[in-house]
Amino acid sequence: MAGLSASPSLTLERRGRSRRARWDAVMVTLAAVQGALLIAAPGAPAIALGVWWNSNTISHNFIHRPFFRARWANLLFGIYLSVLLGIPQRLWRDRHLAHHAGVEPRLAFSGECALQASLILFLWILIAARAPGFFFSVYLPGYLAGLGLCWLHGYYEHARGTTSYYGKLYNLLFFNDGHHAEHHARPGLHWTRLPEYYEPAVSTSKWPAPLRWMEAFSLETLENLVLRSPTLQRFVLSTHARALRDLIRPLPSLKRVTIVGGGLFPRTALILSDLLPAAHISIIDANPANLDRARALLGNRSVDFIHARYAKPGRHGCDLLVIPLSFDGDRRALYADPPTPAVLVHDWLWRKRGSSRVVSIALLKRVNLVRP
């Protein structure tokens, strides 16, 4: 009937398709940029990172949802990715879809796979013949390192069942690859829609897949390592002192300081007792052994030791609350609604909140100061 517009649901679907098509175009453009950068400045790190990043983003999404309507365009783009990454995309596609189906992959060479493999081999022979030094000392090490990163990435995405990671920066750079459990539940869904299907019950990790091996190293293990080395103790104290000094300098007079988790090595209490000699400092820790060790390391310094689990204080319980990196409570709630006039939160390097100072890139750590 003349004058009637399309239904709202149809309009929304068209907008969704248009938005997804734009993101597919972005991926095609990024793949082209990657190729141009490798030609302009080839290096082993660029090759390794390119193989790893593209395989888990552009190539991975292209496997599940080809970017073009025309079959010939998808065939050409598959050839380009094959040559760019040194991985026949048809072979990678068959293997990956078998992984989703939960079956053993079968090696089946098709004409498409043979063409992709032949072009990769031709390129390798050409590079090796014209620049053997580059091929064997730069390209091959970078390529093999990229495959190693891909293996590491894939292994830890599924090491304890399919696991998701919801860090915003990682999911921006990797096109929601962190929503991996959601992807496995709906492998044909466009990556832009994965956050819509967040499931609270899925297995999650505090680490993105490439860094998930760090879960094997507990913070307690690292603390014990520091305790065995005076050199490490001096390094940890100096880096933390610089960050803490900068953050507390603009704060008004601090009379009462509460430190959650004295820890095996009470670096914060050692530093703040020097920076704030007139302040009353308390350490709350649920582990009596940690408190005993903190007493020994703090010596005659005026510090109260409280054997208890941290409970959210009232608004005027103290002037400054210090939260450790190993805090097992709701860290987001502390950032959203600081329970004291000032809260210092030890956090990972990539979690910048409020006023912030990097403690050490080597320690992957920063300190954030938040206020109500």
pLDDT at 188 (0 to 100): 93
Instruction: State yes or no: pLDDT of 227 exceeds 60.
Output: yes
Instruction: State yes or no: pLDDT of 22 exceeds 70.
Output: yes
- Order of all β-strands in the sheet with 365-370: 303-307, 280-285, 256-260, 320-323, 342-348, 365-370, 355-360
| SS3 (DSSP) at 366 | strand
Instruction: State yes or no: pLDDT of 356 exceeds 80.
Output: yes
Q: What average pLDDT does this structure show over 356-367?
A: 87
φ/ψ bin of 161: left (φ > 0), alpha (ψ from -120 to 50), beta (otherwise):
left
pLDDT at 214 (0 to 100): 75
pTM of the model: 0.65
Instruction: State yes or no: pLDDT of 123 exceeds 60.
Output: yes
φ/ψ bin of 263: left (φ > 0), alpha (ψ from -120 to 50), beta (otherwise):
left
The residues spanned by each domain of the chain are 8-208, 221-370
- For 221-370, CATH number out of 3.40.1050.10, 3.40.50.150, 3.40.50.300, 3.30.565.10 equals 3.40.50.150
233 band by pLDDT with thresholds 50, 70 and 90: confident
Residue type for position 350: W
pLDDT at 313 (0 to 100): 56
Q: What angle is formed at CA 336 by the lines to CA 331 and CA 340, rounded to 5 degrees?
A: 85
16 band by pLDDT with thresholds 50, 70 and 90: low
4 band by pLDDT with thresholds 50, 70 and 90: very low
pLDDT at 237 (0 to 100): 84
**Mean of pLDDT over the chain:** 87
Percent of the chain with pLDDT over 90: 48
pLDDT at 232 (0 to 100): 82
Length of the chain, please? Answer: 372
Instruction: State yes or no: pLDDT of 219 exceeds 50.
Output: yes
Per residue in 187-213, pLDDT tens? 999 999 999 998 888 889 888 999 888
Instruction: State yes or no: pLDDT of 120 exceeds 70.
Output: yes
Mean pLDDT comparison of 40-54, 223-237, 249-263, highest-scoring range: 40-54
pLDDT at 269 (0 to 100): 86
pLDDT at 72 (0 to 100): 96
Structure tokens at 59: 């190539």
Instruction: State yes or no: pLDDT of 108 exceeds 80.
Output: no
pLDDT at 11 (0 to 100): 57
- Which residue has better confidence, 90 or 217? 90
**Contact status, residue 354 vs residue 360, Cβ threshold 8 Å:** no
**Contact status, residue 94 vs residue 87, Cβ threshold 8 Å:** no
- Which residue has better confidence, 282 or 219? 282
Q: What average pLDDT does this structure show over 302-321?
A: 77
**Contact status, residue 257 vs residue 322, Cβ threshold 8 Å:** yes
